[in-house]
């Protein structure tokens, strides 16, 4: 049992993502909001030096999300998703997370950013009940492979288009 727990914790990193079939709705919670990114949404990477090499660091999101495909009586919301990670609605509702606590899952498409499970932190207003956020159904958003990242390009930023669905969970 202890070995399984250690393996599960090790599998929840960016370096060792879990299969997305293992991503489940959090126990005792239901989806409160479902948002989709708009086509202008990007992941921002910055060329940085790490030890003796250079690498594309990040990503930091700059995305606009909407829930226009409402299936219940929820109000339409537009949300800005940005560095933190943070999600801020036009009505001032806000929820943050700690990216270092993210559980990573493999996407359906190998050319896409990971699916994520993130714990909610400091939710306010309409997001006050949000406990967990899932990023699923991703497309794009990987670091640039066709742009140089070296001493000459240190500090350069690249904005890479991506799409995703974000599920905000609250207690049932």
* Residue 136 or residue 50, greater confidence: 136
| Strand ranges (E), 38-93 | 42-50, 53-66, 78-82, 86-89
Q: Which of 142, 121, 162 is nearest to 39 (CA)?
A: 162
Query: Is there a contact between 67 and 77 (Cβ–Cβ < 8 Å)?
Result: yes
Asked if residue 10 has pLDDT above 70, the reply is no
Task: Look up residue 25 and give its DSSP letter.
Answer: P
Per-residue pLDDT tens digits for 39-64: 999 999 999 999 899 999 999 999 99
Q: How confident is the model at residue 12, as a pLDDT?
A: 52
Burial of 116 (0-12, 13-18, 19+ CB in 10 A): buried
* Residue 6 or residue 20, greater confidence: 20
Q: What does DSSP say about strands 78-82 and 130-140: parallel, antiparallel, or unpaired?
A: unpaired
For residue 4, how many C-alpha atoms fall within 13 Å in the half-sphere facing its CB?
1
Q: How many CB atoms lie within 10 A of CB 150?
A: 11
Per-residue pLDDT tens digits for 69-105: 555 556 788 999 999 999 999 999 999 999 999 999 9
């Amino acid at each position: 049992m202890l070995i399984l727990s250690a393996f599960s914790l090790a599998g929840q990193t960016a370096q060792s993502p879990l299969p997305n079939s293992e991503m489940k709705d959090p126990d005792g919670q239901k989806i409160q909001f479902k948002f989709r990114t708009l086509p202008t949404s990007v992941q921002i990477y910055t060329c940085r030096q790490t030890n003796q090499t250079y690498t594309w660091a990040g990503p930091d999101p700059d995305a606009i999300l909407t829930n226009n495909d409402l299936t219940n009586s929820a109000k339409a919301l537009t949300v800005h998703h940005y560095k933190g990670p943070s999600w801020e609605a036009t009505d001032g509702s806000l929820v943050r997370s700690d990216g270092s606590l993210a559980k990573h899952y493999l996407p359906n498409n190998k050319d896409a950013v990971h699916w994520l499970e993130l714990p909610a932190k400091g939710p306010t207003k309409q997001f006050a009940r949000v406990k967990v956020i899932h990023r699923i159904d991703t497309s794009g958003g990987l670091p640039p492979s066709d742009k140089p990242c070296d001493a000459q390009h240190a500090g350069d930023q690249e904005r890479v288009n991506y799409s995703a669905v974000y599920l905000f969970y609250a207690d049932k």
